[in-house]
Amino acid sequence: MLEVIEQLIKEVSQFSAESKEQVEQFRVEMLGKKGKITQLFKEFKNVAVEQKKEFGKQLNILKTTTQQQVDEFKTRLDNVENDGTSTDMSLPGNAEYAGSRHPLSIVLNEIVEIFKRLGFTISTGPEIEDDWHVFSALNFPEEHPARDMQDTFFIGNGSDVLLRTHTSSVQVRAMENKKPPIRIIMPGRVYRNEAVSARSHCFFHQVEGLYIDENVSFADLKQTLLYFAKEFYGHNTKIRLRPSYFPFTEPSAEMDVSCSLCSGKGCNVCKYTGWLEVLGCGMVDPNVLELNGIDNKKYTGFAFGMGIERTAMLRYGVKDIRMFFENDLRFLRQFQEI
């Protein structure tokens, strides 16, 4: 009998399992109701008195070793499963965050793509500019408030060097370098000396459009903007042009689009007007053409400009402009394209 127990202890210590089922099978085989060890405990009463002590001792060793083996293999196999190193190849994987485009880039790319389809090409200019390109060549009167120190970041005291306050300066650079027809779209960063708040920032982005050719009319401007609005804001979008003033366009207008959130019925985004203000536009002022060496008897043109942050805020319902510049991954990851 003792040999039997010793033999079993050996077997048990060499036991190994690959699955939890094997462990359970082993447990039942040894410790189950009809298991080998249970059986040996039942035979204890038949053991001769002098052998009882040794038999009991060995039997207990066998029982504990078996229990330890069962426990050890159970935890080991549990861990393998939780590690993700289990061999179940059908389980879905954990996707790694691969980075995503910035919401401003998504919106800007979309706008540029729409105008590219109309034959516009991209033009860019410097962010550090001079008075001529930002103001004078765009027909800003000498005393215009936009030239005020409050709005413009000048580089150096009394200097002519400044950070551009709008992308309209690229229009001037384009007219310097190209002959009409000119049909360009000009994205870029602009700077204004303004207090940073939820609604305004000291730098932001704009995209500007310019079309100069023979016989360009206000109807062309309207049709171009209507196409853009339908492509960008949705095919049921309506546009509305309100008279406005910009020094470099005459006549000037501001364009509203019907609010896509409430379909023009009125909601808190459009402040219950049914309309959203999205861009400024107009016919290039003949003075601007002349200042830039373009024959204003032969050529006419239109221009428009819009803010990218404002457009992105409307599209995504972003309430605070500062979010775009904080590089907070919790914000940026929401724009991941899947």
Binding residues for ligand DAH (CB under 6 A)? 166, 168, 208, 246, 249, 280-282, 303-305
What is the closest distance, in whole angstroms, from the C-beta atom of residue 122 to ligand DAH in the complex?
Answer: 16
Contact criterion met (CB below 8 Å) for 166 and 206: yes
Strand 161-163 relative to strand 182-191: parallel, antiparallel, unpaired?
Answer: unpaired
CA–CA dist 15, 26 (Å, integer): 9
What is the closest distance, in whole angstroms, from the C-beta atom of residue 289 to ligand DAH in the complex?
Answer: 13
What is the closest distance, in whole angstroms, from the C-beta atom of residue 279 to ligand DAH in the complex?
Answer: 7
- Judged by beta carbon, residue 188 or residue 305, the one nearer ligand DAH is 305
CA–CA dist 188, 306 (Å, integer): 11
What is the closest distance, in whole angstroms, from the C-beta atom of residue 157 to ligand DAH in the complex?
Answer: 25
User: Token digits for 166?
Assistant: 């709008």
CA–CA dist 32, 72 (Å, integer): 18
User: Token digits for 1?
Assistant: 């009998």
- Judged by beta carbon, residue 218 or residue 335, the one nearer ligand DAH is 218
Place of tokens 């940073």: 196
What is the closest distance, in whole angstroms, from the C-beta atom of residue 142 to ligand DAH in the complex?
Answer: 18
Residue nearest ligand DAH, CB atom distance: 305
- Judged by beta carbon, residue 63 or residue 285, the one nearer ligand DAH is 285
User: Token digits for 141?
Assistant: 């009167």
- Judged by beta carbon, residue 204 or residue 324, the one nearer ligand DAH is 204
What is the closest distance, in whole angstroms, from the C-beta atom of residue 141 to ligand DAH in the complex?
Answer: 15
- Judged by beta carbon, residue 103 or residue 280, the one nearer ligand DAH is 280
Degrees (nearest 5) of the Cα angle 79, 85, 88? 110
| Side-chain-side CA neighbours of residue 157 (13 Å) | 0
Q: What is the DSSP string of 177-233?
A: H-PSPEEEEEEEEEE------SS--SEEEEEEEEEEETT--HHHHHHHHHHHHHHHH
- Judged by beta carbon, residue 168 or residue 311, the one nearer ligand DAH is 168
